[in-house]
Amino acid sequence: MTARAGGFTLIELVAAIAIFALVAVMGLEALTMGIRAETRLIAADEADRALFRTLALLRRDLALAVPVPFLPPAGTAEAAWLAPAGADRFAVSVAGQARLPGAGEAGLGRVEWQLDRATGVLSRRFWPTLAPREATAAGPAVALLEGVQSLALDEFPPGAEPRTNLIEIEDSALARLPRGFELRLVTARHGPLRLVVAP
């Protein structure tokens, strides 16, 4: 038998490399799973933020509702709030909007919410005045929430005496608001949601 010189044999080196490769593969798999989990959590967080932002805007718009009709550029006057049954849209006249000095009206505008059932996208459009001269006065429709399946707005409580405008107008039905609004929203991720707001 010969004396062994200092160092490793080929078999020892191959075994060491195999163990290192196994540990590296396990570490890489753990890192990949961590990155995937982070990606899923970020997507869920963004979806939750979009829902929170949309519900806050809906609550704000309905709380600022005023019993003042809307006079579109072409057509007849629309009621202070308009929510056709089954139409997946509603519009409401609102107060408390910022105005530049010299701009007419005291911060009154019109907000329109629309659900596109084909894409599941809920969008919001704002008119900076209740009597626009041109259709181009409306802002762009801004997509706020995806995965929406239905949208409905009703009076709350049903049949309660409405609030009316103090200003005399020809058709008083156009200048009325319910005592409260009940908004029902169904999303694919969060299921049915209900929001009750008193203007």
pLDDT 10s digits, 78-101: 988 988 888 899 999 998 776 656
Confidence of residue 57 (pLDDT cuts 50, 70, 90): very high
Q: Name which residue leads in pLDDT, 18 or 167.
A: 18
The residue ranking higher by pLDDT, 169 or 145, is: 145
Helices (runs of H) and strands (runs of E) counted in the chain:
1, 10
The mean-pLDDT minimum among 22-26, 43-47, 117-121, 132-136 falls in 43-47
Q: In a 3-state reduction of DSSP, which class is residue 69?
A: coil
Return the pLDDT at 176: 81
> Which position has the higher pLDDT, 172 or 11?
11
**Parallel, antiparallel, or unpaired for β 148-155 and 181-187?**
antiparallel
Residues 6+ apart with CB under 8 A from 85: 152
pLDDT in tens, 107-152: 889 999 999 999 999 999 999 888 888 988 899 999 999 999 999 9
Does the pLDDT of residue 166 top 70, yes or no? no
Closest CA to 132 of 98, 105, 114, 164: 105
Choose among 93, 39, 68: nearest CA to 172.
68
Q: What is the mean pLDDT of residues 180-187?
A: 92
| Predicted pLDDT at 188 | 92
Nearest to 183 by CA among 50, 67, 90: 90
Mean pLDDT, residues 23-46: 87
Mean local confidence (pLDDT), 183-198: 92
- Give the pTM: 0.74
Domain boundaries, the chain: 58-197
Average per-residue pLDDT for the chain: 85
- What's 113-170 look like in SS3? EEEECCCCEEEEEEECCCCCCCHHHCCCCEEEECCEEEEEEEECCCCCCCEECCCCCC
